[in-house]
Amino acid sequence: MIGPKAYIHLDRLIHNYRIIRQHLGGSPVMAVVKANGYGHGAVACTKALEKEGCGFFAVFTFDEALELRQAGIQSDIIIFSRMQKEFLAEAIDQNVILNMSGQNDFELLNEFYSKSGESPIFHLKIDTGMSRLGIPFEDAGRVLTTLSENPQLKCEGIYSHFATADEGELDYAEWQLEQFNLVLSLADEMGIDFKYRHFSNSGAVLNLPNSKFDIVRIGMILYGAFPSDEVPMNIDIKPVMEFRGPIVETRRIKAGTKVSYGGVWASPKDTTIGVIQTGFADGFPRPWYDGGHVIYKGKHYSIAGRVCMDQLMVDFSDDNVTVGDEVLLFGENGKDSLHMEEISQHIQTTPYVLATSIHGRTERIYLK
Ligand SMILES: Cc1ncc(COP(=O)(O)O)c(C=O)c1O
């Protein structure tokens, strides 16, 4: 079908997984495959990683976990979103791990236990400074006491999440880590043993090597992009997604001709304009028209005028262009590379936003 294509290089995903494990000295990895595997396709990425030996996956919603189970994924799956009463029975049926992040989750679980005699497995989330989900640090002692008084509830893990691990200034992240270590010491004193303690994300893998604990949660760097430009980029990760769009039309225009909405771009000289069938509705970053470019046959060409919903235009100058060929929008192919990091820096967003925006009509093609 004609339209944008996301070529997903599963071999690069596995390469990244191996490189990261090596960097971590072999620590186990919890692969974060929420939001459709950061736009890369959750099922295909999870299957490839599971085959490689990764045994733990994280998603955000219950439906995302069900999608993986229905696709035959056997490994552990944790759900990061808020625990809901409606999931409890199915979490047990589907063997999915829940997130305990509020005091009243105990009430939910105990009410369920009193009716069913069962408890889903869950991990306890401590808020050490993200101020999103999680038991506030100040309440950790009380919650650990409740946990030790309720051995019928199956808590297998304890974790927290960094707010600033991918920044150059790490004081706040280090303070969060101290808070987490205090909670772990308290749990130790109380004789509470967790199968898994986890904290690291991609930024922490690169910036805070002493936050590995028992398993390391990783999203962005698995997909081959650095979370920010403030982390040491000392691991050889490769972009998993190669996003391409087809040239569907070319036309010669005269110098001074305006191109696209608003007429904000006019050609400085007579030129060939190519129409690429990819637009912001497919996830192409709209602000990237200003200073943005694409790659065709090894050369960079400027985007001409505003990106439209379904199409964008490229200034091919006087070069030969074949309708039906594809241009590289971002990613890597042989010597051609245009990284999400470069685009996101230019338009002041992040690779997380770029990758997860790839959706809609974009066809994913999995390459082994
Ligand atoms: C709780 C949690 N852990 C880990 C991650 C993975 O983060 P990253 O993609 O930076 O590795 C995320 C992603 O947002 C998250 O929400």
pLDDT of 272 above 90: yes
Residue with the nearest Cα to atom 14 of ligand 1?
A: 219
Indicate if the alpha-carbon torsion angle 197, 83, 53, 350 is positive or negative.
Answer: negative
How far apart (Å, rounded) are the C-alpha atoms in residues 295 and 308? Answer: 19
Catalytic residue among 5, 7, 17, 34: 34
pLDDT of 103 above 90: no
**pTM of this structure:** 0.96
Tokens of 38: 């950061």
Measured in angstroms, how far is the CA atom of residue 253 from the centroid of ligand 1? 47
% of the chain at pLDDT higher than 70: 100
Model confidence band, residue 320 (pLDDT cutoffs 50, 70, 90):
very high
**What is the chain's mean pLDDT, rounded?**
96
Q: Which atom of ligand 1 is nearest to the CA of 218?
A: 11
How far apart (Å, rounded) are the C-alpha atoms in residues 24 and 130? Answer: 24
pLDDT 10s digits, 111-145: 999 999 999 999 999 999 999 999 999 999 999 99
Give the pLDDT mean for 336-343.
97
Helices (H), the chain: 10-23, 34-38, 42-51, 62-70, 88-93, 104-116, 140-149, 171-189, 202-207, 340-346, 351-356
Q: Which domains does the chain have, with CATH numbers?
A: 10-223 (3.20.20.10), 241-367 (2.40.37.10)
pLDDT at res. 133:
95
